[in-house]
Amino acid sequence: MTSTTAVSVAPTLHAGETIRRSDRRLGIVMLAPALLYIALLVAVPFLLALFLSLTNSSAGSLEFSFVGLQNFENVIASPVFRRALRNTFVFTFVSQLAVIVLGNVLARALMKSFHGKAIARFLILLPWAAPISLATLGWLWIFDSTFSVINWLLKVAGWLGPGQWYYWLGDPTLGMVAVIMIHVWRMLPFSTVILLAGLTSIPNEVREASAIDGAGLFSRIFRIEIPMMKPLLTVAVLFGVVFTFTDMSVVYLLTRGGPYNSTHVLASLAFQEGVLGGDVGRGAAVAIFLVPVLVVLAIFMLRTSRRAEVV
Amino acid sequence: MVGELTWSRRLVGLWLPLTLLFVFALFPFAWMAATSLKANAELYDPTANPLWIRHPSLVHYIDLFKETNFVVWIGNTMLVATVSTVISLLLGVMLAYPLARMRFPAAGLLAITVAVTYLVPQTLLFVPMADLINRMKLGDTLTAVMLTYPTLLVPFCAWLLIGYFKTVPKELEEAALIDGASRWRAMTRVILPLCTPGFLSAGIFAFTLAQNEFLYALLFLNTSTIRTVPVGVTGELIRGDAFYWGQLMAAAFLGSLPVVLIYSFFVKYYVAGLTAGSVKG
């Protein structure tokens, strides 16, 4: 064993040196265009966003001047912004909580053997696959003020009496419920698929051993399966949070932030102020409030991914 | 399995949650389809049972094709999605291969940078991006979205491909190198073909995301004939306060179909892509 290693060391070292040098050249040639692209279209706009938030620039005009932190002060003083900030957190937190609970239930059901399992696993992905903008239109019609099918069903079931009616998108609380419902609907398939992969990766022997040792269903779930699936659960939550936290299309298409600006999120408010309202500086300032949370998420993601050896 | 499941436990643990959650997941699509098949007289009849289609009619579909640019929008969407997927895969490989396979100073740091880029949301970039695109005189062109979509797709593609490249044993490449192949040849002939599933996963992810993209399309595409399906449908079938529900639902249903069809063919790769890396731990 030792003699063969000794023989092969010298030529490998030599070849390794040549390879490393040509590697570096090829590596730089490959990396440069991609990194340049990211620098130009991600880093530059990002820095520009920071820069614009300190100016009073408006759309279509080349003139601007520095206003310091004026945009941020104005934004923080605005009740609409504070509501949007709160909504962004509420929507994300509540929908992710529901998604994780329901996702676990669904993944557990999809683990069992039953007829049509393959079709079921395909169908469940549809809400995640379909364009969210078009799906939101479907929900808009489901929540319609006159023809809401939910209200029709509630009426038939006797929940809504004569003269009673839910104006889903005309009421601040119901509007928030509607937005959360769509986020849950959209993210549930995603989490289910990831959790399903996690459940499948737990060897059956572990379950059997726990059963033999006398563990019940609950201690199996909470003491064995959840700890074993922790990296995957984190990934599911992380992606879910990023998607929900930064989404603007659901609110934009469903409520336009209404009624009375009660359902805005940071993303939709930034769009309204920065694009529709033409106040670029203010819009950028609103969006920048996403940064602290995203930094926390990034740190979190790096810690988990290093553990899962992704990066 | 651990013990046999009784009939009642199967009902509570399997069929009940499955049925409820599937109704929740699929009802919007069924409702789109049902609505799109009702003529206006039936659609807006407050006394009718909305779950029942009395007189199925294709009138909304015919209107959609004849009166709107829906077909053009589909063409645009496919074009934009294809081009941005190709760009993203190319850039993704260019990032992933050196970072996964070559000994490189600061490779770890670069890989982290790429992963973090994935977290920079459109929401943060769109205000300056609109400004940049307008200054580059690209406003209202398909080039604008083809250029900007890869910003959303490249980090994920690279991230996923790094994971795939790492699963291919180093010895394969080393054998090729020792046999006299150049690094480039070893990569294109040995490693890349082995990572076909990775490309499929990344490609499907990129393609569907590009098809579904809404915000940049809303910002950059104003002329009707260059719009993609999401902005065309939401922008032109809602006119002020007037909602053409029949046409809207027909368009939403048809517009979701291509993505769904892609899924039905490639669902295995897609799921593999979603869970790649995360299940390796």
Distances (CA, A) of A44 to A39, A161, B45, B131, B177: 6, 57, 54, 12, 39
Contacts of A205 (CB under 8 A, 6+ apart): none
Whether the CB-CB separation of B230 and B62 falls below 8 Å is answered with: no
pLDDT, one tens digit per residue, over B46-99 is: 888 888 888 899 999 999 999 899 999 999 999 999 999 999 999 999 999 888
Whether the CB-CB separation of B81 and B210 falls below 8 Å is answered with: yes
Determine, for residues B263 and A41 on separate chains, whether the beta-carbon distance falls below 8 Å. Answer: no
pLDDT band at B275 (very low <50, low <70, confident <90, very high): low
pLDDT, one tens digit per residue, over B7-34 is: 787 777 788 889 999 999 999 999 999 9
Q: State whether residue B54 is helix, strand or coil.
A: coil
Instruction: For residue A132, give how far its alpha carbon lies from the nearest alpha carbon of chain B (Å).
Output: 7
Q: Which residues of B touch A31 (CB under 8 A)?
A: 94-95, 98-99, 110
Largest CA distance in chain B: 79
The CATH number given to whatever domain includes residue A220 is 1.10.3720.10
Write out residues in chain A with pLDDT < 70, as ranges: 1-20, 60-62, 304-311
Q: What is the pLDDT of residue B2?
A: 45
Determine, for residues A188 and B25 on separate chains, whether the beta-carbon distance falls below 8 Å. Answer: yes
Q: For chain B, what is the mean pLDDT?
A: 86
Distances (CA, A) of B131 to A6, B135, B226: 63, 6, 20
Q: What is the pLDDT of residue A112?
A: 84
Distances (CA, A) of A266 to A136, A178, A286, B123, B214: 19, 17, 6, 8, 17
Domains in chain B with CATH codes: 7-57 (no CATH), 67-275 (1.10.3720.10)
Q: Which residues of B touch A253 (CB under 8 A)?
A: 234
pLDDT, one tens digit per residue, over A273-299 is: 988 888 888 999 999 999 888 888 888
Q: Which two tokens stand for residue A38?
A: 């990211």
Instruction: For residue A135, give how far its alpha carbon lies from the nearest alpha carbon of chain B (Å).
Output: 7
Q: Residue B280: left (phi > 0), alpha (psi -120 to 50), or beta?
A: alpha
Distance between CA A226 and CA A217 in Å, rounded? 12
Enclosing H/E stretch for A246? helix A230-246
- For testing the chain B interface, which of A18, A26, A38 should be mutated: the one with the most B CBs within 10 Å? A38
A29: nearest Cα among B263, B29, B97, B205: B97
Does a structural domain hold residue A69?
no
Distance between CA A140 and CA A169 in Å, rounded? 9
Of B130, B132, B255, the CB nearest to A134: B255
Does a structural domain hold residue A238?
yes
Distance between CA A193 and CA A236 in Å, rounded? 9
Whether the CB-CB separation of B232 and B73 falls below 8 Å is answered with: yes
Instruction: For residue A267, give how far its alpha carbon lies from the nearest alpha carbon of chain B (Å).
Output: 6
pLDDT, one tens digit per residue, over B216-257 is: 999 999 899 999 999 999 988 887 777 889 999 999 999 998
Number of domains in chain A: 1
Q: What is the pLDDT of residue B130?
A: 85
Determine, for residues A109 and B18 on separate chains, whether the beta-carbon distance falls below 8 Å. Answer: yes
Would you state the torsion angle of the CA atoms of residues A148, B25, A266, A59, taken in this order, to the nearest 10 degrees?
Answer: -80
Whether the CB-CB separation of B133 and A66 falls below 8 Å is answered with: no
Determine, for residues B214 and A131 on separate chains, whether the beta-carbon distance falls below 8 Å. Answer: yes
Whether the CB-CB separation of A75 and A286 falls below 8 Å is answered with: yes
Q: Which domain holds residue A294?
A: 84-278+289-307
Q: What is the pLDDT of residue B143?
A: 93
Q: Which residue has the tokens 């201690």?
A: A219
- For testing the chain A interface, which of B88, B90, B127 should be mutated: the one with the most A CBs within 10 Å? B127
- For testing the chain B interface, which of A221, A301, A311 should be mutated: the one with the most B CBs within 10 Å? A311
Q: What is the pLDDT of residue A1?
A: 39
Distance between CA B23 and CA A293 in Å, rounded? 34
Q: How many residues are present in chain B?
A: 281
Q: What is the pLDDT of residue A132?
A: 93
Residues linked to residue B242 through DSSP beta bridges, in sequence order? B239
Determine, for residues A138 and B159 on separate chains, whether the beta-carbon distance falls below 8 Å. Answer: no
User: Nearest chain A Cα to B11, which residue?
Assistant: A109
Q: What is the pLDDT of residue A14?
A: 55
Beta strands in chain A (DSSP E): none
How much of chain B exceeds pLDDT 90, in percent?
36
Instruction: For residue A233, give how far its alpha carbon lies from the nearest alpha carbon of chain B (Å).
Output: 9
Helices (H), chain B: 7-10, 16-36, 40-43, 59-67, 70-101, 107-117, 122-135, 142-167, 170-178, 183-185, 192-194, 196-212, 215-220, 229-236, 245-275
pLDDT at B157 > cutoff 80: yes
Whether the CB-CB separation of A166 and A77 falls below 8 Å is answered with: no
Does a structural domain hold residue A68?
no
Determine, for residues B278 and A231 on separate chains, whether the beta-carbon distance falls below 8 Å. Answer: yes
Does a structural domain hold residue A112?
yes
DSSP state of B149: H
Whether the CB-CB separation of B131 and A48 falls below 8 Å is answered with: yes
pTM of this prediction? Answer: 0.88
pLDDT at B279 > cutoff 60: no
Does a structural domain hold residue A14?
no
